[in-house]
Every structure is written in structure tokens, then in C-alpha cells.
Amino acid sequence: MIGIIDYHLNNLRSVQKAFEKVGAESFISDQPEALAGADKLVLPGVGAFGKAMDNLRTLGLDAVIRRSVGEGKPLLGICLGMQLLFTRSDEGGSFDGFDFIRGEIKQFPSTVKVPHIGWNQIDIRRDAPLLRAVTDHSFVYFVHSYYAVPEEDVALCTTDYALPFTSVVQKENISGIQFHPEKSQTTGLRMLANFAGVGDRHAVIGAL
Amino acid sequence: MLAKRIIPCLDVDRGRVVKGTNFVDLVDAGDPIEQAKYYTAEGADELVFLDITASSDNRATMLDVVRRTAEEVFIPFTIGGGIRTTADMREMLRSGADKIAINTAAVSTPELVSEGADRFGVQCIVVAVDAKQIAPGQWRVFVNGGRTSTPLDVIEWVQMVESLGAGEILLTSMDRDGTKDGYDVELLRRVASAVRIPVIASGGAGTLEHLYAALHDGHADAVLAASIFHFRRHTIAEAKDYLRSKHIIMRH
């Protein structure tokens, strides 16, 4: 069972519906005890970095995330949720993240439109189970103003926007997707199916 | 490379899709969820639902449309019409909408833009601007579905909402809306060069060339269109093939 972490900022319904579509069971909760019982955790997210970490702490969810990761449970961060996996962000000040992956979150330069909104391509740098049945250069849906700069070799995909930035990461049981897989039609659903371990549903997704 | 977007717009009245010509003379054109699925399968990059009834007793109907769409459609969609408070925004977002378009409420309560952006992120907040030309090179902001004039200059207004935290501008030319004579390219170009956030062109699409003009000459990031697709004069796939042949980057 996949636990979707509700920290009172995000649109969780779409993520849950996407898992449902690929045949994976999930539940949404803001309760540490309930989430501790999940086999895998998803940290979605839309909103501001500092506020997100605040809410996670206030709700006592940061501890359960750290503990689950320590136990080796898979954790998937989506969009802001991926950014929270890193050391620090300079969004609206300087805020500490989980530091599961060493690196910083930076704002796109002023040479391009910000937010980066729309369908852009992923260039696969390293293959991984998360990318099973995903075609190189597929278009996926992005909405973000900040991007991750890892200080470790964790990039599975990069995307070009002003510069090549890291769009999918994986480090052991921790993975992150900067775009919105739940809004990226077939490609995104495939990745969620891969994370959920229901990759055999790809035929169903292909028919969407 | 970032692709330009094609966004079908579904005008929803009491749970049904309708399309007006110059905001009146409505023709029923079907079930919103069925249309949303159809357009998604055809290659739509995003969807916009405009709740044109927008009365408070209609809220439950619209929330139901949002919930059902979120169950079936895995591309982003925006809800506009009748959103007046951050509580309204939250309700729509929690039901599965990705973005909220505000128009009249942004003019009467500009703090709604900044509060919405603070609370839900700038990417959620689309400010819809109904623009009417009042002199050469000059456009005025209208509200209440285009019925009420405001003292606001369009260029000054889009810059203001950008500074308040709008994530995108949905720019409708009232002069062109429903005419099928093409987007107001001049207006688009002015607005696109005045702000750094993406601009969605709306109002006047009648041919595929019009889509090209808005994206290429008007520097729009996306084109919103209704009747050109609703009445099957063109499919989205045809539009994308055409635009690709003109070297516009499109998602495949």
C-alpha cells in the first residue's frame, strides 16, 4: 500500500487517481501512524518550500518520512516534494530540506519565463526501473520556478530550460520527479506504475 | 525544448458544455467529462473549464465536474468562473483542479492573487484578462463576463498581477471572441513583451493559421480555442501537425 503524504498544501487527489488508474492501491493521510504503516511513501507537493517543511514538522510527518527512508522503504517526491529531498532551497529565503540528497534548489535565471510551465522533454541519462517503458525525449508536464542542483550523481533524467536541469533523480530507495507524472498522461502514468511495482499494467496505460 | 500548448476551452453552464459567440447566444455542446476525455486522447495539452453560470448554488455541480474530470483525465486542467476567495480556490484544488483562473475577483480584490499565490503557489493562479481595444494600441480591462468596463489599462494590469504573483495570463480579446477572425496578435505581442510569465491567447481562433499567428507573431505560449475544435472543423492532431510543419514545437 502506497501512503500519499498530506501536509495540507497540495493537490493529492490527482496523484491518488493516477495510482488508481494504473491499478495501484494508495491512501492519503496526514497521520504519522497511518503513514508509518505504508510500504511506500509519496511526497507530492505544490507551493512554497519553507511552508512545506514547516507543515511537515508541525504535523509530525518529517519524522515518519525519515524513519521510513531509514528502514529502506521507497520514497517518491513529486515536484516540490522532489525539491524537499535536497539539502537547502533559496526559495523566499534559505530553508533546510530533508538532505537525503546533497544539493541545492535554485531559481531559474531571468533569461527565461518563470514559472517553467508546460510540456518539455526528458533526456534519459541513466536507466532505472522507474523509467521502464519510458521513451527517451518524451514530453512531460512541468510547473515550477525552482530546480534542483544535486551535488551527487543521482540524475536519471535532465531537461533543457535555460540550462539542462535535473528532472528525475534516484538515490537508493529515494526517488524524485520534478514534473507532474500524474498530469503527464501515458509517460507519467508509466512512471507511477513503475514506482508502485505494477509495471505489468503498461498495456492498460498504453491504451489511454 | 518547451512545447507550445493547445488548450481547448469548455464553457460549462450548469454542468453542460456550451459555447457563446461574444458571450451570448449559447449552443449546448455536450458533457464536460466526455469532451475532456476526447480532447485528451486527441492530444490536448491542457484543458480549461469556464463555469459561466458561476452562481454559488452552482458550486456543487462544478465541484462534481472537477472531481469526475480528475478521475479520468491525466493532463492539467484549469477552473475559472465564480472563484472569489482562497477558500473557493482550495476547494477546487482539493477536488483535483490544477489551476484556478480568476478575472473579476482579481480586479475587485487584487490581494486574492497574492494570497492565492502564497498559499497554493504561483503556478495555480491564472489571471484571466478580458481586453477590449479603446484606441489604437490601447486596451481596457473588462469584468463580469465582459459586461463591465474598468479604468484599468491592460498592459499596466498584467504587470501588476504578475508582481502580485500570477503564474500565467489568460488573455481574451473581447473584440475577437466568437468572431473566428483570428486572435488579436498586436494585443498578444504587447502583453507577451510586458510580462515574464506565460501568456495564453484566447478569442478569435477560426483557422489553423490563426493558431500559428498567435504563437509565432503574437509570442503566446499557448492558444486557447473552443469552437474551432468543438464543431470538429479541425482536430487537435491536425492543428499540431500544421504547427509542427511551421516549426512550432509541439508535444507528440
Residue A37 sits in which domain range? Answer: 2-206
Question: Looking at the complex, does the CB of residue B130 fall below 8 Å from at least one CB of chain A?
Answer: no
Relative to beta strand B5-13, strand A26-29 is: unpaired
From chain B residues 6-35, the ones with a CB under 8 A of any chain A CB are none
What pLDDT does B22 receive?
37
Number of structural domains (chain A) is 1
Domain layout of chain B by residue ranges: 5-245
**Catalytic site positions of B:** 11, 130
Task: Assign B55 a pLDDT band (cuts: 50, 70, 90).
Answer: low
What pLDDT does B16 receive?
86
What does the mean pLDDT of chain A come to? 93
Instruction: Tell me the C-alpha distance between A125 and A148, whole Å.
Output: 16
Instruction: Tell me the C-alpha distance between A55 and A60, whole Å.
Output: 8
Instruction: Tell me the C-alpha distance between B197 and B206, whole Å.
Output: 26
**Which residues, in sequence order, are bridge partners of residue A117?**
A143
Closest CA to A75 of A58, A56, A59: A56
Q: Report the pLDDT averaged over residues B130-138.
A: 97
Alpha helices in A22-160 (DSSP H): 32-36, 49-58, 61-70, 80-83
| Optimal mutation site among B74, B170, B200, interface A, most CBs of chain A within 10 A | B74
What pLDDT does B121 receive?
83
| Chain A residues closer than 8 Å to B93 by CB | 11
What pLDDT does A195 receive?
97
| Degrees, nearest 5: CA angle B75-B77-B83 | 165
Q: Do A119 and B251 touch (CB under 8 A)?
A: yes
Q: What is the pLDDT of residues B182-200, one digit of tens each?
A: 999 999 999 999 999 999 9
- DSSP code of residue A9: S
Question: Looking at the complex, does the CB of residue B180 fall below 8 Å from at least one CB of chain A?
Answer: no
Q: What is the pLDDT of residues A15-51, one digit of tens each?
A: 999 999 999 999 999 999 999 999 999 999 877 888 8
Task: Nearest by CB to A14, from B45, B96, B221: name it.
Answer: B96
What pLDDT does B31 receive?
82
| Degrees, nearest 5: CA angle A81-A83-A86 | 120
Relative to beta strand A123-124, strand B138-143 is: unpaired
CB pairs under 8 A between A and B: 98
User: Residue A79, SS3?
Assistant: coil
Question: Looking at the complex, does the CB of residue B251 fall below 8 Å from at least one CB of chain A?
Answer: yes
Could you give the C-alpha distances from A96 to A44, A167, B119, B174, in angstroms and in order?
18, 20, 19, 47
Give A178 to chain B, closest Cα distance, Å.
Answer: 14
Asked if residues A82 and A89 have their Cβ atoms less than 8 Å apart, the reply is no
| CATH of span B5-245 | 3.20.20.70
| Chain B residues closer than 8 Å to A12 by CB | 94
Amino acid at B64: D
Q: Report the pLDDT averaged over residues B84-107.
A: 93
**CATH code for the domain in which residue A132 is found:** 3.40.50.880
